[in-house]
Amino acid sequence: MTTALIAEDEPLLADNLRAELAAAWPALQIVAQAGSGTATVALALQHRPQICFLDIRMPGMTGLEAAQAIGEDWPDDAGALPLFVFVTAYDQYALQAFDAAAADYLLKPVTPDRLAQSVARLQARLAQPTTGDATLATLRQLLTQAAAAPRLRHLQAAVGDAIELVPVDNLVYLEAADKYVRAVTAERDYWVRVSLRELAPQLDPERFWQVHRSTIVQIDAVARAQRLENGNVLLELRQRPEKLTVSRVHASRFKAL
């Protein structure tokens, strides 16, 4: 039996999608229904559905961010990542991006004819033995579809009563910590009041690689990448003793291993 999760913060829309899915795909079992991005991630990791229908705009975390979090934390023994279907009210420009990158998209309000097409597409994808790899590739493509932003040269970090300008060139890695980012250099750590999600588009993607949902590393600061027996990758740094874990979403960046 195929399992699915519905993430939608509008109860009427969630109930409508559930009813339409029951009619279009009677054998599909809805194992969980979430009303926020945070709840979506928790329920997906608990129930491990094969398909996630994700509303793009949800409280606390968008559908894209929830998909990223699910991919980052998906257990190694849980098999293939879910297929992500994004439910959106965006215009045609956005739909073209989702059509190219996601397993599928549904435009609100969901119509029976369009849902039937999606069901057929999903059933075909589930029948493919490489579904897990395809889903992972889809998610990585979604995560890299960010608008270009001016490149940062310095971070402003609070140090006592002063603001210290930390050159971006001196960074070894950046780590998310609630509403702050821990900016790590060879000599010390700084705390910057900004989210990693806001900061990431302002960094040069050729130099700063996202290796985990909560970690960005300056690739020149990496001395060695070691692949473990479970498929994970550990990064050894040139000027810091700690090792950084590469999540499965980003492990293919080190495909030479």
184/144: higher pLDDT: 184
Q: How far does CA 88 lie from the centroid of its chain?
A: 17
115/58: higher pLDDT: 115
Domain identity same for 165 and 132? no
Query: What's the average model confidence in pLDDT over 218-232?
Result: 88
Per-residue confidence (pLDDT) for residue 147, from 0 to 100? 46
Per-residue confidence (pLDDT) for residue 114, from 0 to 100? 92
Asked if pLDDT for residue 227 goes beyond 60, the answer is: yes
Per-residue confidence (pLDDT) for residue 144, from 0 to 100? 56
Asked if pLDDT for residue 239 goes beyond 60, the answer is: yes
Can you list the positions of beta strands (E) in the chain?
3-7, 29-34, 51-55, 83-88, 104-107, 154-159, 162-167, 171-177, 180-185, 189-192, 208-212, 215-218, 222-227, 233-237, 243-246
- Provide the 3-class DSSP secondary structure of residue 216: strand
What's the pLDDT tens digit per position in 92-104? 545 555 555 578 8
Domain identity same for 120 and 176? no
Domain identity same for 41 and 136? yes
Q: What is the length of the chain?
A: 257
85/89: higher pLDDT: 85
Per-residue confidence (pLDDT) for residue 93, from 0 to 100? 43
Domain identity same for 19 and 73? yes
CA pair distance 209, 239, nearest whole angstrom: 17
Domain identity same for 246 and 209? yes
29: amino acid identity, one letter: Q
Give the domain extent around 196. 154-254
- Provide the 3-class DSSP secondary structure of residue 252: helix
